[in-house]
Amino acid sequence: MQNKHIRQRITETLEKNYMPYAMSVIVSRAIPEIDGFKPSHRKILYTMYKMNLLKGKMTKSANVVGQTMKLNPHGDQAIYQTMVRLSRGHDALLHPYIESKGNFGKRTSKYMKYAASRYTEVKLAEISNEIFKDIDKNTVEFVDNYDSTMKEPTLLPTTFPNILVNNNMGIAVGMASNISSFNLKEVCETTIKYIDDREINLLDYLKAPDFSTGGEIIYDEVALNKIYNTGRGSITLRGRYRYVKEDNCIEIFEIPYTTTIEAIIDKIVILVKDNKIDDIKDIRDETDLGGLRVTIDLKRGKDPEILMGKLFNKTPLQDKFNCNFNMLINGAPMQLGVKKIIDEWLIFRKESIRNKLQFEIDMIEKKLHLLGGLEKVLLDLDKAIEIIRNTKNDKNVVPNIMENFQIDEIQAEFVVNIKLRNINKEYILNKVKEIKDLKKSVKKKNGILKSNKKINEVIKAELEGVSKKYGRERRSEIIFKKDIIDIKPIDTIKDYNVEIFLTNQNYFKKISLASLRSSGEHKLKDEDKIIQSFECSNKDEILLFSDKQKVYKRYLYEIDDHKTSKLGIYLPNILEMEKNETIIYMVPAKSYKGHMIFGFRNGKVQKLPLNAYETKTNRRYLRNAYSDKAEIVGISYLEEDKDLMMLRYSSPNYYRILVINSSLIPEKVTRRSSGVMVLRLKKDSEMLKMRLLEDVKIENVDKYYNTNIPRSGVKVDQIDLLKLLNDELME
């Protein structure tokens, strides 16, 4: 018999066969819904909830996998793999839903595999209380499972916008979803503010995404606004590291969420083999129970900052997280911005609360109905007992009670089923007393149910509770583009000796020593003068202190060389300083050794180690560089302890001098500390100036010298006063 070939249009085949498959993948498998879960997540967590693993002890993962198959008709490996990602041990989520015991692998490693389900144990994490809160009070809809043998929830009634708190990625047919995680405290605060004012600027409260692997997020307001408004865009992430000077090595201890340890090491090895990086002697993965650590041994004389600049540019140590906020809303896929997501979650949460309130009202009204019948019986309790005693047939007891007390069958059943020991007035009166309280409760719940404002207050109270109980500080630090130095390859940076100059009007010059030897006088603006100069290297970092308690940081190779015949660069233009802000002091910081000394008008002096301004990242400026409690009147850098001169002025025209060694001043650890009292002041007196003794002209130094602090100083000799007042340093 000859086979007959049936011809069919490809479009019809796609429509009949492929489209239902595609829709099934989108709607029932790969895209999360407003509660923050895909169906596979929801089935696992609900199974664990029904197994009493919210409060009970841990159980073997294999047990959970087996029970989940009643809801999820997939293989055990697929279920277990999903459960691993939801666990604390895997470190994929900011707030894991599952507590775990045993080896669950790590999000940061592609080779560190999780143990088999028979070896590991799990239970629901405490935060899952907020995921399942009131689920047994009709808050969400339940449907039949795949074989109609049990019910399962279509959504979980989360009390916070869980969809924004944990990462969620899925690839469907023709679309994908990649939702970044945000800090729980920030999400709750943002939602509360949004309830009160729909026009808020989200960036004021929701600073940026936050990831379980930590690292740094390079702040880009334009990109974040695009993500918040449209649900699409990218975020730049980078790892965190520290330089261990004693071992001349770099330790990477946090990496971007988007990559793995192995991917980073493999790329670095390729760069070394291709001779694109020659700074590295060895690289090792030293990750252990203490946490992630990749160690890079440097060759002698190599700059760690410049090497890290190369690694950020050429390896996954700096990477992008591409946001695509696709999710299902009422079964339809949508791409939503953050405000719209919060909007949809509020709609969902309000509906859950209304369902719960209606459930509770219905239960109370049922109880009130029963107690109403009991109240009528109370009017003649003896009669009720007599009716029950004298009724010959059991089936006639309820009808007789109904007829004599004018109550319905449900009420009569309740009355006749009361235990004999409870047929006393005290018991019945106590039951009847409940009626008043229950009616108040119904009235209150109806008031909430009918008031959108009151439901909003319930949601806000829940969010505040969640934030207080489960919120924690950000894991991913936010850094700004202007704080990051774009490090050039080391072979493009020439290292040579330079002299740098700072003028009173905030002009800065960097002149090579070779050029300086053959140059003439400095060109300066009218009434300007040079207040500081240093010899240093072109690769040194310079710290520029301003009168607004800031310190600006730049590498000298970032600044062009000058001639003495030029004015130099105007610092406010390149440092993006505040209006009326002035640079008052500069310090080369090649090794960050020594101390900074700050003198204040209130007589206090602050001594800080220079390494207080050393940062792990390439920061462009630091706030709170020194105390802001009083006006600064002197600032000096000391490689080692030296003598300081302090000039006190009292009205009218009365001067005192105190000379001490800086070793008397105790070192402070924090930059915001207010210092210690050194120059004792009286009413109408102040510290006028503080200078290094070597920079001023005083004849009778021994007269003013003291070895204890605080001191009031010694009255200034006329000859010393004239020298000080005429000295340019004391102007």
Residue ranges covered by each domain of the chain: 31-150, 240-316, 350-460
Angle at which helices 39-50 and 76-85 cross, to 10°: 90
The pLDDT tens digits for 180-226 are 999 999 999 999 999 999 999 999 999 999 999 999 999 999 999 99
Rounded to whole angstroms, the Cα distance separating 328 from 37 reads 10
Looking at 177-302, list the stretches that DSSP marks H as alpha helix, in order from N- to C-terminal side.
184-196, 221-230, 261-273
Report the pLDDT averaged over residues 659-679: 90
Question: Among the listed ranges 243-252, 395-404, 461-470, which one has the minimum average pLDDT value?
Answer: 395-404
**Per-residue pLDDT tens over the stretch 590-605:** 889 999 999 999 999 9
Band the pLDDT of 458: cuts 50, 70, 90: very high
- The pLDDT, as a whole number, for residue 492 is 45
Return the percentage of the chain with pLDDT > 90, whole number.
Answer: 61
Cβ contact 30:177 at 8 Å: yes
Percent of the chain residues topping a pLDDT of 70: 94
Where residue 511 falls (left for φ over 0; alpha for ψ -120 to 50; beta otherwise) is beta
How many C-beta neighbours within 10 Å does residue 681 have?
Answer: 20
pLDDT at 90 over 80: yes
| Position 469 confidence tier, pLDDT thresholds 50, 70, 90 | very high
> Is the per-residue pLDDT at 730 higher than 50?
no
Task: Please tell me the predicted confidence (pLDDT) of residue 315.
Answer: 93
Q: How far apart are CA 268 and CA 314, in angstroms?
A: 8
d(CA 80, CA 102): 14
Interatomic CA distance for residues 475 and 581, integer angstroms: 34
**Mean local confidence (pLDDT), 539-547:** 93
Choice between 436 and 264, residue whose per-residue pLDDT is larger: 264
Residue 494 has pLDDT above 70, yes or no: no
Residue 646 in this model has a pLDDT that exceeds 60: yes
CATH superfamily of 31-150: Topoisomerase II, domain 5 (3.90.199.10)
For 559-591, how does the pLDDT look when each residue is reduced to its tens digit (9 = 90+)? 888 888 899 999 998 888 888 899 999 999 888
CATH superfamily name and code, 350-460: Topoisomerase, domain 3 (1.10.268.10)
Inform me whether the pLDDT recorded for 485 exceeds 90.
Answer: no
The answer to whether the CB of 262 falls within 8 A of the CB of 111 is: yes
Distances (CA, A) of 102 to 79, 393, 478: 17, 65, 33
Residue with tokens 């997501």: 341
Segment 78-85 mean pLDDT? 94
Bridge-based pairing state of the strands 551-555 and 621-622: antiparallel
Q: What is the DSSP string of 666-697?
A: PPPSSTT---EE-B---TTEEEEEEEEGGGS-
* Predicted pLDDT at 14: 67
Residue 59: predicted pLDDT = 96
Question: How would DSSP label each residue in 42-69?
Answer: HHHHHHHHHTTTTTS--EEHHHHHHHHT
- Are 543 and 499 within 8 A, CB to CB? no
Planar angle of CA 617, 621, 627, nearest 5 degrees = 115
pLDDT for res 169: 85
Q: How confident is the model at residue 487 (pLDDT cuts 50, 70, 90)?
A: low
Q: In this model, does residue 701 exceed pLDDT 90?
A: no
Average pLDDT along the chain: 89
Q: Which residue would you say has higher pLDDT here, 74 or 113?
A: 113
pLDDT single digits (tens) 139-189: 999 999 988 999 999 999 999 999 999 988 877 565 778 999 999 999 999
Q: Is the pLDDT of residue 460 over 80?
A: yes
pLDDT at 204: 93
Mean pLDDT of 388-394: 85
Among candidates 335, 143, 147, which has minimal Cα distance to 231? Answer: 335
CATH 3.55.40.20 at 240-316, yes or no: no
Which pLDDT does position 519 carry in this prediction? Answer: 79
Q: What is the gyration radius of the CA atoms in the chain, in angstroms?
A: 37
Residues taking part in catalysis: 119
The predicted pLDDT at position 729 comes to 43
Q: Which of 44-48, 82-86, 674-678 has the lowest mean pLDDT?
A: 674-678
pLDDT at position 17: 67
**Predicted TM-score (pTM) of this structure:** 0.66
Of 316-330, 478-492, 684-698, 715-729, minimum mean pLDDT range = 478-492
The amino acid present at 79, given as its one-letter code, is I
Given a cut of 80, is residue 1 above it in pLDDT? no
Question: Which residues does 254 contact at the CB level (< 8 Å), separation at least 6?
Answer: 213, 214, 215, 216, 239, 240, 292
What mean pLDDT is predicted for residues 334-361? Answer: 96
pLDDT-derived band at 490, boundaries 50, 70, 90: very low
Where are the strands (E) in 141-211, listed by range? 142-144, 151-153, 168-171, 176-179
User: To which H or E segment does residue 119 belong?
Assistant: none
Q: Which of 567, 589, 569, 584 is nearest to 532 (CA)?
A: 584
424 pLDDT higher than 80: no
